[in-house]
């Protein structure tokens, strides 16, 4: 197929998922597959193997499970399956996605304790240690790596060390960082790590995935509070039947994802992608500050994934700003915090520093008209 004949998207997405995908990734969706066919199941097995290799230093100790739905479905499958009926979950939150983990636990009637560090606060290790020391009922601890609400990068390595010291199972929501920021399961002492197809791997939305320690996955048997989100059930099916999903699998999305994994490798792997995202973020952040915008996260905690900017003046209309930028070919993201009026610009996806330079020109043009 001549990829160049495929139509261009009318704009690029500077959003943290779904995000702009390459044409070659999208073109992979033009083939229909049968779900029990060996050819298709081999594709799934190849994805599982590749994911574990990216995530772990010792791939033989870990296993990957793909789960239908958006990223939250995968988080819910882990929370609902990993914690035994007499377990208790400590959730460390500083944004909407951390809060969501506690919400899931409460909805599933799983005993939980929420440590809310505030929307722009950095989790305090002394405070976490104090809780782990005193609350003996806690069996699991969950945290978000890059809190996409603000773009803050959380100190998960330190938190993982504490979890290991106190014998707690560490669950990591690395939805918006896996594939874009180098780390390993071992480095963070993570037993379960969750991400999805449409974030840093740059696939299209439709499924999430879980990398888990094999021995911890085996303990999930019979613990699920849901049939369709039974993590062990899904894993067991994939293991036993070599890449078979329970229930209909998103075949086109899976095909696109294999291509996305190949493109990640071709780019030079996670390290190279991290460099590109970091460059994208720096171009945007520096350029925006030159235009008078202020960021809200201190530089040392700023992730290369997404950046929050304060409204430049009280009369600023995000809606009109958004609409003008969209006609110029850029879709940005509204803010998600309540403490201050903000908007966000993502730096992940099939976007490059040149795109960010073009964005800045469009913003400068829009602003000079608005302020004139």
Contacts of 167 (CB under 8 A, 6+ apart): none
Residue 72 is a binding residue for ligand PLP (CB under 6 A): yes
Cα–Cα distance, 107 to 173 (Å, whole number): 18
Binding mask 137-156 for ligand PLP (x = CB under 6 A): -------x---x--------
**Distance in angstroms (rounded) separating the CA atoms of residues 363 and 159:** 38
Choosing from 12, 13, 15, 17, the residue that interacts with ligand PLP (CB under 6 A) is: 17
Nearest residue (beta carbon) to ligand PLP:
71
Stretch that binds ligand PLP, among 67-75, 113-121, 234-242, 307-315 (CB under 6 A): 67-75
Rank residues 331 and 362 by Cβ distance to ligand PLP and give the closer one. 331
The answer to whether residues 177 and 54 touch, using CB atoms and an 8 Å cutoff, is no
Backbone angles phi, psi at 264, to 5 degrees: -65, -45
**Segment interacting with ligand PLP, rule: CB under 6 A, options 171-179, 250-258, 315-323, 340-348:** 171-179
Q: Return the number of the residue (68 or 285) whose C-beta is nearest ligand PLP.
A: 68
Our finding on whether 307 is near ligand PLP (CB under 6 A) is no
Compute the least distance from the CB of residue 148 to ligand PLP, in Å: 3
Q: Which residue lies nearer to ligand PLP by CB, 173 or 216?
A: 173
Does 102 bind ligand PLP (CB under 6 A)? Our answer is no
Pairing of β 112-116 and β 89-93: parallel
Q: Does 206 bind ligand PLP (CB under 6 A)?
A: no
- Do 115 and 90 meet the contact criterion of CB atoms below 8 Å apart? yes
Give the residue from 82, 51, 81 showing the smallest Cα distance to 64: 51
Instruction: Verify binding: residue 285, ligand PLP, rule CB under 6 A.
Output: no
Distance CA 28, CA 80 (A): 33
To ligand PLP, the closest distance from the beta carbon of 16 in angstroms equals 6
By CB under 6 A, the count of residues binding ligand PLP is: 12
The DSSP 8-state label assigned to residue 122 in this structure reads P
16 scored as a contact of ligand PLP (CB under 6 A): yes
Report the relative pairing of strands 207-213 and 62-68 from DSSP bridges: antiparallel
Note whether 123 and 147 are within 8 A (CB).
no
| Residues 291/360, Cβ–Cβ less than 8 Å | yes
Q: Are 150 and 96 in contact (CB under 8 A)?
A: no
Handedness of CA 124, 129, 131, 132 (dihedral sign): positive
Classified as helix, coil or strand, 1 is: coil
* Closest separation in Å from C-beta 41 to ligand PLP: 25
| The only residue of 97, 170, 274, 277 in contact with ligand PLP, by rule CB under 6 A | 97
The answer to whether residue 171 forms part of the interface with ligand PLP (CB under 6 A) is no
| Nearer Cβ to ligand PLP (98/233) | 98
**Residue among 43 and 197 whose Cβ is closer to ligand PLP:** 197
Interface with ligand PLP (CB under 6 A): 16-17, 70-72, 97, 144, 148, 173, 175-176, 196
């Amino acid at each position: 197929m001549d990829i160049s004949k495929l139509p261009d998207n009318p704009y690029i997405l500077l959003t943290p998922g779904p995000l702009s995908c390459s044409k070659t990734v999208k073109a992979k969706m033009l083939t229909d597959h049968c779900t029990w066919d060996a050819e298709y199941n081999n594709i799934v097995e190849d994805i599982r193997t590749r994911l574990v290799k990216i995530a772990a230093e010792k791939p033989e100790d870990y296993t990957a499970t793909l789960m239908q739905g958006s990223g939250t479905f995968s988080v819910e499958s882990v929370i609902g399956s990993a914690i035994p009926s007499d377990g208790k979950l400590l959730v460390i939150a500083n944004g909407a996605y951390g809060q969501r983990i506690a919400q899931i636990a409460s909805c599933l009637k799983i005993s939980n304790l929420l440590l809310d560090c505030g929307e722009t606060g950095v989790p305090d290790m002394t405070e976490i240690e104090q809780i782990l020391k005193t609350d003996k009922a806690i069996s699991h601890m969950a945290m978000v790596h890059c809190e996409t609400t603000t773009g803050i990068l959380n100190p998960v390595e330190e938190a993982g060390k504490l979890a290991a010291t106190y014998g707690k199972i560490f669950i990591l929501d690395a939805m918006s960082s896996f594939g874009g920021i180098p780390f390993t399961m071992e480095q963070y002492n993570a037993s379960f790590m969750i991400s999805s197809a449409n974030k840093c791997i740059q696939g299209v939305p439709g499924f999430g995935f879980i990398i888990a320690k094999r021995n911890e996955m085996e303990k999930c048997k019979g613990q699920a509070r849901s049939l369709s989100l039974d993590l062990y059930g899904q894993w067991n099916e994939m293991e036993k039947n070599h890449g078979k999903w329970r229930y209909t699998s998103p075949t086109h999305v899976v095909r696109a994802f294999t291509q996305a994994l190949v493109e990640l490798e071709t780019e030079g792997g996670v390290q190279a992608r991290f460099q590109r995202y970091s460059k994208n973020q720096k171009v945007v952040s520096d350029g925006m500050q030159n235009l008078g915008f202020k960021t809200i996260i201190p530089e040392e905690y700023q992730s290369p994934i997404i950046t929050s900017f304060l409204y430049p003046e009280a009369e600023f209309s995000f809606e009109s700003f958004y609409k003008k930028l969209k006609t110029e070919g850029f879709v940005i993201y509204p803010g998600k915090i309540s403490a201050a009026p903000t908007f966000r610009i993502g730096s992940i996806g099939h976007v490059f520093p040149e795109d960010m330079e073009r964005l800045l020109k469009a913003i400068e043009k829009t602003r000079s008209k608005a302020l004139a």
